[in-house]
Amino acid sequence: MSESNTGDGTTENSAVRRPADWEADRLRDLASEFGTPLYVVDPDRVRQNCERLLGAFPDATVDYAVKANTARTVLETVEDAGLGAECASAGEVRRALDAGFAPEEVRYTAVNPPAADLDAVVEWWREGADLTVTVGARTTLDALAERGYDGRLCVRVNPEVGAGHHAKVTTGDAPQFGVPFDDATDAASAASEVGEFVGLHAHVGSGVSGDDLSAHEVLVGRMAMLADELDESPEFVSVGGGFGVPYRREDPPLDLDAVADATRAAFDCDARLVVEPGRYVVADAGILLTEVTAVKETAETTVVGVDAGMTTLLRPALYDAYHEVRSLSASIDDRVPTSCLVAGPVCETADVLGEERVLPEPKRGDLLSVGTTGAYGYEMASTYNSRPRPAVVTLDGETVARRETLADLTRLEGGEQS
Ligand SMILES: Cc1ncc(COP(=O)(O)O)c(C=O)c1O
Ligand SMILES: N[C@@H](CCCC[NH3+])C(=O)O
């Protein structure tokens, strides 16, 4: 396991790896070998995060929310560490199975599932994959029954309480997720008529900070009460994920033991507890490298143009999310500290990775890092503006995903529909 050389003197499996803790020489070498924009992922750090979660929740099942980062090396590391997999689509189920997760440890959360997803998952189930399907609407039970599915079923419940780092990821009170709370008991009975009813599920939202655990606690209490009220206790109750991570230098790390204590205190029922964090597992195991391509003084600020943008890392444009930007080419002591607007190459005003960021006076060709990008970074990349998606490598220099080429951009055009 790699030692993390944290700026504040803590080492090894510390609760957070800050952008400054990545070895700058190594990142510079990777950028010169593979080019930019480049995502770097550190599987050792993924493993540390898994171990910390398992340590905090020794009596629970910890599922990894695969959507945060589906890289094969990440999935294999998480599986090897002993976590299960929470999947949001047939594609994620396929990736989880291919990476070695036992089907019994795969829980597929079907949100308004496309017919093709259900067709695929039911086919894999028929071939012997004894996974669990979590439904959030009675009509999804109907769709499964029509396909002859009578396997393991979990009912997702709308807990009527939400939280998250942004309104767009506050899930628990959004009507599209889960059966209405008042309908949960009947939906559980309906599930038993279709297949084997094994669990209840709810999720509060994503990026919940330690200061704001009250919604999570309410959710856990409500779900435990619901499980207790059923004629027969379900095998498990998943209370979702959402554990936040620090993005700003001054943010404290999440006190995972406090989260676990609060969860256990509110979880007064006989079922097995399941938690399903995504971000916590991978966020600080990833960093994005980008090159300065243009520098411009304006009346308002110094504009630093870089080769990564909203098509590389969507979170700032979509959620006004903050990611620390650092120079790997100069220190603040060597060049004049300069307040900068860091902007990408996409023709959208939203294509800004950071505003009012103080960098050593930027120069064309400088290498910058954009921190804490292991979760929902590459996963949300797109080819808008015909920008090929970036490459992804491990800290050891293994290719995780090759850089897309201009030829890749048109490879789906023409030909027959399958
Ligand atoms: C159902 C479900 N479970 C788990 C997660 C994981 O969330 P996070 O990455 O914030 O832990 C999500 C995403 O918000 C989700 O929708
Ligand atoms: N994509 C979100 C998290 C969403 C989770 C999906 N339920 C983010 O980057 O913060």
Q: What is the pLDDT of residue 108?
A: 98
Q: Tens digit of pLDDT for each residue in 312-370?
A: 999 999 999 999 999 999 999 999 999 999 999 999 999 999 999 999 999 999 999 99
Do residues 292 and 305 make contact, with C-beta atoms less than 8 angstroms apart?
yes
Provide the token pair at 36. Answer: 């930019």
Residue 2 has pLDDT above 50, yes or no: no
Residue 10 has pLDDT above 60, yes or no: no
Do residues 143 and 169 make contact, with C-beta atoms less than 8 angstroms apart?
no
* Start and end residues for every CATH 3.20.20.10 domain found in the chain: 102-277
Residue 8 has pLDDT above 90, yes or no: no
Residue 5 has pLDDT above 50, yes or no: no
Strand partners, 303: 296, 341
Across 269-278, average pLDDT: 97
Give the span between the Cα atoms of 159 and 187, in whole angstroms. 14
Q: Ligand 2 pocket, 376 CB below 6 A?
A: yes
- Name the pairing type of β-strands 337-343 and 325-327: unpaired
Residue in the structure block whose two tokens are 């979760």: 375
Strand partners, 63: 84
Q: What is the pLDDT of residue 12?
A: 57
Round the average pLDDT of the chain to a whole number and report it.
95
Q: Tens digit of pLDDT for each residue in 228-260?
A: 999 989 999 999 999 999 999 999 999 999 999
Residue closest via CA to ligand 2's atom 3 equals 206
Verdict on whether the full-model pTM lies above 0.80: yes
Tell which one of 279, 284, 312, 322 to mutate to probe ligand 2, the residue whose CB is within 8 A of the most ligand atoms: 279
- Helix (H) or strand (E) segment spanning residue 339: strand 337-343
Class of the domain covering 284-409: mainly beta
Inter-CA distances, 301 with 295, 337, 338, 342, 357, Å: 11, 13, 9, 10, 10
Q: What is the pLDDT of residue 215?
A: 96
Tell which one of 156, 276, 373 to mutate to probe ligand 1, the residue whose CB is within 8 A of the most ligand atoms: 276
3-state helix, strand, coil in the chain (%, to 5): 35, 20, 45
Do residues 350 and 317 make contact, with C-beta atoms less than 8 angstroms apart?
yes
Across 79-100, average pLDDT: 98
Provide the token pair at 74. Answer: 């990440």
Residue in the structure block whose two tokens are 């959208």: 348
Q: Ligand 1 pocket, 278 CB below 6 A?
A: yes
Provide the token pair at 351. Answer: 């294509």
Residue 185 has pLDDT above 90, yes or no: yes
Between the CA of 240 and the centroid of ligand 2 the distance, in Å, is 13
Residue 207 has pLDDT above 80, yes or no: yes
Between the CA of 206 and the centroid of ligand 2 the distance, in Å, is 6
Check the CA dihedral 357-2-67-309 and report its sign.
positive
Residue 9 has pLDDT above 90, yes or no: no
- The letter for the amino acid at 9 is G
Please return the burial class of 398, using the count of CB atoms within 10 Å of its CB with bins 0-12, 13-18 and 19+. exposed
Residue 121 half-sphere exposure toward CB, CA atoms < 13 A: 36
Q: Tens digit of pLDDT for each residue in 144-177?
A: 999 999 999 999 999 999 999 999 999 999 999 9
Residue in the structure block whose two tokens are 């856990």: 220
Q: What is the pLDDT of residue 287?
A: 98
Give the span between the Cα atoms of 280 and 64, in whole angstroms. 9
Q: Tens digit of pLDDT for each residue in 96-138?
A: 999 999 999 999 999 999 999 999 999 999 999 999 999 999 9
Give the span between the Cα atoms of 312 and 344, in whole angstroms. 9
Do residues 302 and 339 make contact, with C-beta atoms less than 8 angstroms apart?
yes
211 band by pLDDT with thresholds 50, 70 and 90: confident
Q: Tens digit of pLDDT for each residue in 358-398?
A: 999 999 999 999 999 999 999 999 999 999 999 999 999 99
Do residues 172 and 219 make contact, with C-beta atoms less than 8 angstroms apart?
yes
Give the span between the Cα atoms of 257 and 302, in whole angstroms. 43
Q: Please indicate whether residue 347 is annotated as part of the active site.
A: yes
Residue closest via CA to ligand 1's atom 4 equals 241
Residue 410 has pLDDT above 60, yes or no: yes
Residue 13 has pLDDT above 80, yes or no: no
Q: Tens digit of pLDDT for each residue in 285-314?
A: 999 999 999 999 999 999 999 999 999 999
Find the Cα–Cα–Cα–Cα dihedral 129, 159, 282, 122, rounded to 10°.
20
Q: Which of 297, 296, 304, 311 is nearest to 354 (CA)?
A: 304
DSSP annotation of 161 reads -
Q: What is the CATH number of domain 102-277?
A: 3.20.20.10
Q: Ligand 1 pocket, 92 CB below 6 A?
A: no
Residue 1 has pLDDT above 50, yes or no: no
Provide the token pair at 32. Answer: 């010169």
Inter-CA distances, 143 with 112, 178, 197, 299, Å: 11, 16, 16, 59
Q: How much of the chain exceeds pLDDT 70, in percent?
A: 97
Longest CA span, the chain: 70
* Start and end residues for every CATH 2.40.37.10 domain found in the chain: 284-409
Residue 4 has pLDDT above 80, yes or no: no
Do residues 289 and 329 make contact, with C-beta atoms less than 8 angstroms apart?
no
**Is the ipTM, as predicted for this complex, more than 0.95?**
yes
